[in-house]
């Protein structure tokens, strides 16, 4: 027994998972991405308030809850809980990445329309931040070894004001964009929290493995 334990200890340096001096793994970048989603969520709250005020009533009324009309092109964040649970890491990340790619495009369109300089600045900052989030997600995906989804053809915002849209409907689209963004950020926070918990305990796993070896 003792000899076995000694042998295990002797070979301990050879256990690759214990030599954590090198690449810290995806853990920190997932944590960062999680923090970023929380931060963006917070940022969006104030931005949306300003923007909805800019849109004016009824969009800035707290109980305004219009049907989702004309916003079909927006990626939906809401998903069945079971479906969400059954997603694997790769799929989860891919969905996030694609969603934010789309949302960012739309948001840039919004930016162009925005009226006040202050609002434009806020939107520009938010866009940069969202760009950062996309980069972060890409980084996590790279760290986990999943390929980046191919950039969609025609990534330029197709949501430019067209003749088909009335002013009200366009505002409605803006409203839904912000709302969907908010939901996506909530979901991403959940996604990354889940991923974080899944990735974090590798040290414990190594310990268990060793015990199994030793006894």
The site for other proteins (CB under 8 A) is made up of 32-33, 35-36, 39, 42, 121, 124-125, 128-129, 131-136, 138-139
25 exposure class (CB count in 10 Å sphere: 0-12, 13-18, 19+): middle
CB of 130 to other proteins, least distance (A): 9
Rounded least distance, CB 112 to other proteins, Å: 18
Q: CB-wise, 8 or 124, nearer to other proteins? A: 124
* Smallest gap from residue 164 Cβ to other proteins (A): 33
The token duo for 30 is: 């997932």
Give min distance, CB of 187 to other proteins, in A.
18
Q: Which is nearer to other proteins, 195 or 210 (CB)?
A: 195
N-term to C-term CA, the chain: 7
On whether the CB atoms of residues 97 and 141 are closer than 8 A, the answer is yes
Q: Which residue has the tokens 């996506």?
A: 184
For other proteins, give the closer residue by CB, 33 or 94: 33
- Residue 16 DSSP class: G
Token pair in block for residue 181: 């963004």
- Would you say 95 or 122 has its CB closer to other proteins? 122
Name the token pair of 20: 């954590």
């Amino acid at each position: 027994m003792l000899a076995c334990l000694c042998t295990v200890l002797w070979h301990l340096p050879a256990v690759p998972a214990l030599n954590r001096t090198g690449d810290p793994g995806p853990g920190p970048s997932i944590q960062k991405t999680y923090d970023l989603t929380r931060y963006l969520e917070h940022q969006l709250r104030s931005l949306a308030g300003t923007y909805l005020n800019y849109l004016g009533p009824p969009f800035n009324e707290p109980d305004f809850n219009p049907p989702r009309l004309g916003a079909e092109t927006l990626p939906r964040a809401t998903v069945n809980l079971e479906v969400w649970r059954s997603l694997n890491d790769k799929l989860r990340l891919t969905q996030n990445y694609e969603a934010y790619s789309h949302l960012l495009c739309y948001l840039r369109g919004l930016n162009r329309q925005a009226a006040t300089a202050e609002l434009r600045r806020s939107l520009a900052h938010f866009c940069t931040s969202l760009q950062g989030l996309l980069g972060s997600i890409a980084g996590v995906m790279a760290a986990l070894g999943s390929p980046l989804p191919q950039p969609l053809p025609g990534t330029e915002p197709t949501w430019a004001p067209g003749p088909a849209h009335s002013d009200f409907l366009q505002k409605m689209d803006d409203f839904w964009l912000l709302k969907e963004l908010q939901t996506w950020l909530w979901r991403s926070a959940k996604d990354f929290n889940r991923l974080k918990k899944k990735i974090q305990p590798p040290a414990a796993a190594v310990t268990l493995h060793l015990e199994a070896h030793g006894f």
